[in-house]
Amino acid sequence: MSAHPDETIDRELESALAFWRDAGLDTCVEDSPVDRVHVPQPVRRSPVIVGGAPAPTASAGPDVAAAVAEAKSRASEVETLDALAHAIRAFDGCPLSRLGAKQAVFARGKPDAQVMLIGEGPGADEDQRGEPFVGKAGQLLDRMLAAIDLKDEVFITNTVFWRPPGNRTPTLEEQMICAPFVERAIALVQPRLLVLVGGASAKFMLKSDEGILKLRGQWRDWRPSEGGQTYPALPMLHPAYLLRQPREKAKAWQDLLSLGTRLAGLDAPSLES
C-alpha cells in the first residue's frame, strides 16, 4: 500500500532538516524577519519644468563613478590601518551603509601579516561585533588556519565593509565602491600572499566570470586597478559553504596545503649555483 502524500512530504522534510543539521545549521530564523523577495523600488520624482522643458531628474541609484572617486581620494590620504578604518567608518558613499547595517566592519588580524584573506562581506555576527569572520564560518576559518599554523598570523578583511541586507551577495557596484579601501589595505599590510575567500571575492578581485569551484586551488596574479605590485592570489571555498557542504572540506584542505607550501617556499633559502 502506497504512503499517503502528506506522509511522503513529512519524510522528505525530515530528511532535508537532518541534512542541514548535520551540515552545522542549527537555526532556521534570524533575530528579525527578512523579506528576501521584496526588491525596493526607486523613488520616482515628477520632472520640474524649467524654461518650458523638463529638467533632468537625478538618478535613483548611487553615482558609482563619483563614489569610487571619493573612496580613492579618502583611501589615498591615510598612512596607517587605524586611519584607514576611521576613513571607512566616515565614508557614506556605499549604499550598504544606509541599508540597515549597524556599523562598518573593516578587519582583524596581524597588521604586518604575510597572508591577507579577503572575504565577501560581513554577516549578522560580524555586523554585531564589528569584526570580519567571527561567526560560525569565521570559527571554522580559524580552525582551518590553525591546521597549517597560521591562526593569528593573517590579516582578514572583505570586499565590502557593511552587511548586505539579508546576508545577500554584495553587488558589483558595492564592491567597486569599496575597492579603493581594499587596495589601500593591501598596500599598507604588504602581504606576500592573498587568499580570496568565496566566489564573490575571487570573481571580483580576479575580474573573472568563472565560479569558485573552478577558480579554487589555482594560483592567480592580482594587481591593483592602477597598476603596481603583483600579488599571488589563491581562491578558496568559503567556510560558510563548507558548513553547508561538509564533503567539500577535502578540497579546502588541499587549498590550505597549497597555501602552506607556497608560503614556506617564499622563506626557503635559494640554492647557490
Domains in the chain (CATH in brackets) are 64-264 (3.40.470.10)
Comparing C-alpha atoms, which of 95, 222, 103 is closest to residue 168?
Answer: 95
What is the reported pLDDT for 146?
97
How far is Cα 153 from Cα 109, in angstroms, rounded to an integer?
Answer: 7
What is the reported pLDDT for 267?
77
Per-residue pLDDT of the chain in tens (273 residues, 90 and over written 9): 555 555 555 555 555 555 545 444 444 544 444 454 444 444 444 444 434 444 433 344 569 999 999 999 999 999 999 999 999 999 999 999 999 999 999 999 999 999 999 999 999 999 999 999 999 999 999 999 999 999 999 999 999 999 999 999 999 999 999 999 999 999 999 999 999 999 999 999 999 999 999 999 999 999 999 888 999 999 999 999 999 999 999 999 999 999 999 999 997 665 554
Cα→Cα distances 145→50, 78, 150, Å: 62, 30, 5
What is the reported pLDDT for 112?
97
How far is Cα 116 from Cα 191, in angstroms, rounded to an integer?
Answer: 6
How many other CB atoms sit within 10 Å of the CB of residue 163? 27
Residue 262 in contact with residue 232, Cβ under 8 Å? yes
Torsion of CA 215, 171, 85, 70, to 10 degrees: 120
How far is Cα 106 from Cα 84, in angstroms, rounded to an integer?
Answer: 9
What is the reported pLDDT for 11?
57
